[in-house]
Amino acid sequence: MVEYIDEVKLSRLLKAVSDSTRRSLLTRLCQQGATRVTDLANQYDMSLNAISKHIKVLEVAGLVKRTTLGRTHLIEADLERVELMSNWFASLKSIWALSLDRLEDVLNKGDKK
């Protein structure tokens, strides 16, 4: 089922993934599954506080979820939200494919004359 994404949600998603560190964090979480914040921070040359701020942006966008177990904070990707963004890009691709198909038709008609 394709879910409609309103402009505010879409803008929040795109803003969240506009930063290379956040894209890297999201990629790692998609690959590794739920991961402790401190373990994520250890994989980057920046402070725990900086990584936490990036994670917060991803959380606000709904791209990641946080689970707290005592003092341990686990972060995991929300694959449904990631899929929504992927579906939006796929719809753009299909629009371009239709336009290219129409262009090809026009060019082929010119060749037949």
Can you give the pLDDT at residue 2?
44
What's the chain look like in SS3?
CCCCCCHHHHHHHHHHCCCHHHHHHHHHHHHHCCEEHHHHHHCCCCCHHHHHHHHHHHHHHCCEEEEEECCEEEEEECHHHHHHHHHHHHHHHHHHHHHHHHHHHHHHHHHHC
* Each residue's pLDDT tens digit, 60-96: 999 999 999 999 999 999 988 877 777 777 777 766 6
Can you give the pLDDT at residue 103?
66
Would the pTM count as exceeding 0.85?
Answer: no
Domain count of the fold of the chain:
1
Q: Which domain holds residue 97?
A: 7-112
Asked if the structure places residue 78 within a domain, the reply is: yes
**Where residue 34 sits, what CATH number does that domain have?**
1.10.10.10
